[in-house]
Structure 1
Amino acid sequence: MSTGKEQLDVEDDFVAVESDENAQLPAESAKTNLSKRRTIDNLLEERRLQKQLADYDFDL
């Protein structure tokens, strides 16, 4: 643990530069994640419906 008496080196000249490639990355990532989420949701829905169909009593 720190005692609070230690001297920390701090760089004051740090400048965050965002390039065009990095600016596009989060939007594409979010779009891909949404697409994957929809695919997973569809598969889970299909599995749920298959289970309901298997549990359905056809001998009414």
Structure 2
Amino acid sequence: MSTDKEDLDVDDEVVAEDPVDEPVETAKTNLSKRRTIDNLLEERRLKKQLADYDFDL
């Protein structure tokens, strides 16, 4: 047996599997939800404008 210590090469890099796919999917989902909310708010605004409009001109 040898008493000398040997240097071990260790790879410290951790490689994630497809890190790009998940954020893109989340971004698409969030954008879709935001568009749905915007559409609902616009519909509410239009209904309120119609309700406030004086038809007896």
How many equivalent pairs are there? Answer: 47
Residue 45 (structure 2) aligns with? 48
- TM-superposed CA distance for 1:14, in Å, is 5.0
Residue 58 (structure 1) aligns with? 55
SS at match of 1:19: coil
Aligned-partner Cα distance in 2 for 1:23–1:34: 17
Q: What is the correspondence of 1:18-29 to structure 2 with a 5 Å cutoff?
A: 18-20=16-18, 22-29=19-26
- The AA in structure 2 aligned to 1:30 is A
Whether 1:17 and 2:26 are equivalent positions in the alignment is no
State the TM-score, normalized to the length of structure 2: 0.72
**Percent identity for Structure 1 against Structure 2:** 74
